């Protein structure tokens, strides 16, 4: 009853009352005042109530009447003395709005402007979508696939965060997009460089934005051992680089990305930039042969220069169980500032697919064939890298 009685008064007011609307007590204003507040308040309850019911006219009167009626029945004796003179401040406040606060209309206009600034012209729909997204996330009502890939989070969050870096910082140039099949399994094989696997993230973004597909990277054991990295990797679609997972994904029609150089590639010194390292045992080739999917060679130029690796601390790396501890001209000397990658110019070129469906699946067991195809992929990437380097001109051009 008390709440109902208070509501009309709030509607009248043009001012946003700060706190409880004048009554002492807990923040809501509808609850019983705390004992501390009751003790503080002068015992002027009866006087103020009488004044309110008798003195005011019009709308104000309609508002206070029910409250007056409710007062004696609902409130225990202790409260009789509690409610205070400040009753009047809120009514008076409405008269002198400019001095006591900012009008509600201005608040609303400001909020609308801000929303328009952030979300654009159709901000209402966008905000509603965002709220729905946040609610879904908080309640856990989203889907992940068998590998733990959270498509919604990846597309709405990770990709959005990476896009400006790709477009503004590295100025990605993409070639050979027509070589990515629109559907069906395929294996993207890329060179690996840059001390930190930023090239993997950029490739994922490129494939998502330009080819409209999700690249599913195969990651090293270490990725799934590290806290935080492991959960982010699974959520963004990665899985362990092992034969079982690679074949399962490829036969499931996914576009799989693999960096066969592994840590030898990203952890190589700056002096060896753009020289491809050994391609492991060619496990990716046998996976492609067994599932009959095409291999798409990808050459990435630019990633080598983002963190020029000039030194390593092997003993510390062994101690921490990581493949290397990078020393660049800026890290660790400049601290966190040294983590900012250099803004090199990137070019990604997807090469012509190498078909594997002409071979029998049984031929995947033939080591000679596997090595030949591996070399073919490796040579393609290496030559494309040299061509791209000649074309690029300056590192930061």
Closest distance between other proteins and the C-beta of residue 241, in Å? 10
Applying CB under 8 A, does 382 fall inside the site for other proteins? no
Residue 140 binding other proteins, by CB under 8 A = yes
User: Of the two residues 125 and 225, which places its CB atom closer to other proteins in the complex?
Assistant: 225
Question: Under the criterion CB under 8 A, does residue 141 sit at the interface with other proteins?
Answer: yes
**Nearest distance from C-beta of residue 393 to other proteins, angstroms:** 42
User: How many residues contact other proteins, by CB under 8 A?
Assistant: 30
Q: Confirm or reject binding of residue 122 to other proteins (CB under 8 A).
A: no
203 phi and psi angles, rounded to 5 deg: -65, -40
Q: How many CB atoms lie within 10 A of CB 279?
A: 24
Q: Does 37 bind other proteins (CB under 8 A)?
A: no
Q: Considering the rule CB under 8 A, would residue 322 count as an interface residue with other proteins? A: no
Residue 396, Cα to own-chain centre: how many angstroms? 28
- Rule CB under 8 A: is residue 27 a binding residue for other proteins? no
Q: How far apart are CA 310 and CA 94, in angstroms?
A: 69
SS3 for 71-94 is: HHHHCCHHHHCCCCCCHHHHHHHH
In the window 201-230, what residues touch other proteins (CB under 8 A)? 221, 224-230
Q: Which is nearer to other proteins, 41 or 218 (CB)?
A: 218
Chain centroid to CA 72: how far?
Answer: 56
Q: Which stretch binds other proteins (CB under 8 A): 132-140, 160-168, 337-345, 370-378?
A: 132-140
φ, ψ at 198 (rounded to 5°): -70, -30
**How are strands ordered across the β-sheet holding 295-301?**
173-175, 347-350, 295-301, 186-190, 255-258, 215-219, 239-240
Q: Is 320 in the site for other proteins (CB under 8 A)?
A: no
Q: Note whether 97 binds other proteins by CB under 8 A.
A: no
Question: Residue 215: beta bridge partners?
Answer: 255
Determine which helix (DSSP H) or strand (DSSP E) holds 130, and give its type and residue range: helix 123-139
Residue 253 lies near other proteins (rule: CB under 8 A): no
With the CA atoms of 258, 263, 265 and 268 taken in that order, what torsion angle do they form, in degrees rounded to the nearest 10?
A: 170
| Residue 70 vs 220, nearer CB to other proteins | 220
CB 245, min distance to other proteins, A: 5
Q: Which parts of this chain interact with other proteins (CB under 8 A)?
A: 137-148, 150, 221, 224-231, 234-235, 239-240, 242, 244-245, 248
């Amino acid at each position: 009853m008390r709440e109902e009685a208070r509501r009309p008064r709030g509607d009248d007011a043009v001012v946003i009352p700060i706190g409880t609307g004048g009554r002492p007590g807990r923040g809501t204003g509808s609850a019983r005042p705390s004992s501390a507040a009751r003790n503080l308040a002068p015992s002027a309850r009866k006087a103020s109530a009488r004044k309110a019911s008798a003195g005011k006219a019009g709308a104000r009167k309609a508002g206070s009447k029910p409250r007056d009626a409710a007062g004696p029945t609902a409130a225990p004796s202790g409260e009789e003395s509690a409610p205070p003179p400040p009753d009047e401040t809120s009514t008076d406040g409405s008269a002198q709005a400019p001095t006591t606060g900012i009008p509600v209309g201005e608040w609303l206009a400001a909020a609308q402007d801000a929303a328009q600034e952030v979300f654009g012209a159709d901000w209402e729909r966008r905000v509603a979508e965002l709220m729905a997204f946040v609610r879904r996330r908080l309640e856990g009502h989203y889907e992940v696939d068998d590998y733990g890939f959270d498509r919604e989070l990846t597309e709405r969050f990770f990709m959005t965060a990476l896009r400006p870096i790709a477009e503004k910082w590295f100025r990605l140039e993409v070639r050979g997009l027509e070589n990515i099949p629109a559907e069906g399994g395929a294996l993207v094989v890329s060179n690996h460089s840059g001390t930190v696997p930023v090239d993997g993230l950029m490739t994922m973004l490129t494939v998502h934005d330009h080819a409209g597909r999700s690249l599913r990277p195969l990651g090293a054991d270490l990725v799934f051992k590290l806290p935080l990295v492991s959960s982010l990797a699974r959520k963004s679609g990665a899985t362990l680089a092992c034969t079982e997972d690679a074949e399962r994904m490829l036969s499931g029609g996914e576009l799989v990305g693999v960096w066969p150089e592994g840590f030898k590639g990203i952890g190589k010194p700056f002096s060896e930039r753009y020289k491809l390292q050994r391609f492991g045992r060619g496990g990716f080739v046998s996976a492609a042969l067994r599932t009959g999917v095409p291999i798409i060679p990808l050459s990435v130029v630019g990633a080598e220069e983002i963190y020029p690796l000039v030194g390593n601390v092997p003993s510390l790396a062994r101690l921490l169980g990581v493949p290397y501890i990078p020393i660049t001209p800026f890290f660790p000397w400049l601290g966190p500032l040294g983590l900012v990658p250099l803004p090199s110019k990137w070019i990604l070129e997807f090469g012509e697919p190498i078909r594997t469906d002409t071979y029998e699946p049984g031929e995947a067991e033939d080591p000679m064939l596997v090595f030949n195809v591996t070399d073919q992929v490796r040579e393609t990437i290496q030559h494309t890298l040299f061509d791209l380097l000649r074309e690029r001109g300056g590192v930061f051009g």
